Structure 1
């Protein structure tokens, strides 16, 4: 892996509100290697989505900066694809056409045969090449998300950004897509940043888990290296003591942060009651 492929340096983000400035993020420093799989985890309101939006170029940081492959991130670009919890497929286009639209963006001037080859390749990666002509309303939620991932990958991004991509799916579908994502990343070696609330998902998929402190003024609290060998088998990991130890470390961090916030809120409520 190439070190410092993606680097966030002293990144901060503040928003104007009727009550004044709100600091969402402060002093976020993170170096990500090429081909690394990073999970962002933390309680609601800890700035995970803000980090993702900044890397995607959907917002500009109010402090610090972000460098990807030697260039500063300034606005959205095809080298950073986003997969949202909602697949966001165009309902009037077929599965094939939804991916074709993205392929044409990165293969301007390419012939019909070349484009067709690429569309079919990315749909085969997510095992959706059997449903080329179906419209989004004709396929299941898990299938829609597979097509969304294929579309994002077809842009050939340097970084794949995923915002709780499996959060709305049932447990069995989620497990299948997690396995598919591990296989795809092993083949394409994409750099991936994924937001998740699922501790097991984070440990299973990641090379490192970035644990965020609670907001406001959220930042990186701890970074946990996931040293489990690849390829990973979820069934085998069920009896793996290292897996359970890593899982416990993440849970301990999340529980301690939640307990601290609860204690502080209780103190504030008590003071307000006395006043």
Structure 2
């Protein structure tokens, strides 16, 4: 049985000045269609490198990334990335930033009216249609990130890749965006992979949490199932036993890894 997304015995090394650094070693992971998977681990464990390999932004050193049985070896609209930095073009409006992606991906496939409707549909998804004529300098950090998510979704990607998308935001804005992402995932049923340092965020959003060992030559240490029914309510989960048990398991893994780092210093 083939998986929707398969990361098959991936190795990744970088070489600079004749010095070779092994970042990831023998990473194997399968992800089902519609699944929300978080990847967590200490700094330097290769989380973002792994995301870049799935995105096709970086080539693997060994192994393969397969999406619907096709090898990933270059960037493509079937894998959209939302970075911690929103990456909006400051001279374009909110509408124009999303339209840029829509016009690129759907050139010759949608009429002008259809493209307009699709841009507005995706801005509606992230509750940003009201700000369509504003430029990035005129909106908040959380709003910019909503536009970045809308732009990524507008490409109709098979996999949405989130690289610490809420890391630069204040706690309240972060919580609102987490809720928005949960709602979008519930509505669209799309496949999402998120890099995070935040344990509570990982447990709240994920179906599974992939925990990485420390680098160099990081591997998958454990994979935790999060058996909490959707839709999820963060207030109700604060005292939920399953939520607390999952949170404890991730914290224990990360704490043990931190002890290993301290012992090596």
The two structures have a TM-score, normalised by structure 2, of: 0.98
The CA distance in 1 between the partners of 2:2 and 2:147, in whole Å, is 31
Gaps of 5+ in 2: none
Matched residue of 2:29: which SS? strand
Q: Give the total of aligned pairs.
A: 264
The CA distance in 1 between the partners of 2:111 and 2:243, in whole Å, is 48
Structure 1 residues 167 and 3, CA gap change in structure 2 (3 angstroms): farther
The CA distance in 2 between the partners of 1:255 and 1:17, in whole Å, is 32
Mapping 1:146-225, distance limit 5 Å = 146-225=146-225
CA deviation vs aligned residue, 1:167-209 (integer Å, no higher than 9, x gap): 0000000000000000101111111110000000000000000
2:14 is aligned to: 15
- Contact 2:42–2:214 (CA under 8 A) maintained in structure 1: yes
CA deviation vs aligned residue, 1:207-245 (integer Å, no higher than 9, x gap): 000000000000100000000110000000011011111
- Contact 2:2–2:69 (CA under 8 A) maintained in structure 1: no
- Contact 1:47–1:218 (CA under 8 A) maintained in structure 2: yes
Gaps of 5+ in 1: 266-275
- Contact 1:40–1:209 (CA under 8 A) maintained in structure 2: yes
Matched residue of 2:162: which SS? strand
The CA distance in 1 between the partners of 2:263 and 2:16, in whole Å, is 26
Matched, 1:38 2:57: no
CA deviation vs aligned residue, 1:116-145 (integer Å, no higher than 9, x gap): 110000000000010110000000000000
- Contact 2:23–2:216 (CA under 8 A) maintained in structure 1: yes
The CA distance in 1 between the partners of 2:18 and 2:259, in whole Å, is 27
RMSD: 1.0
The CA distance in 1 between the partners of 2:51 and 2:198, in whole Å, is 17
Structure 1 residues 262 and 224, CA gap change in structure 2 (3 angstroms): same
Deviation at 1:19, TM superposition (A): 5.6
1:57 is aligned to: 56
The CA distance in 2 between the partners of 1:229 and 1:34, in whole Å, is 17
The CA distance in 2 between the partners of 1:189 and 1:16, in whole Å, is 39
The CA distance in 1 between the partners of 2:23 and 2:53, in whole Å, is 12
CA deviation vs aligned residue, 1:56-112 (integer Å, no higher than 9, x gap): 001111011110011000100000000000000010110001001111122212222
Matched residue of 2:27: which SS? strand
Matched, 1:125 2:125: yes
Deviation at 1:3, TM superposition (A): 6.3
- Contact 1:3–1:31 (CA under 8 A) maintained in structure 2: no
- Contact 1:3–1:33 (CA under 8 A) maintained in structure 2: no
The CA distance in 1 between the partners of 2:179 and 2:10, in whole Å, is 33
2:102 is aligned to: 103
The two structures have a TM-score, normalised by structure 1, of: 0.94
1:234 is aligned to: 234
The CA distance in 1 between the partners of 2:183 and 2:165, in whole Å, is 16
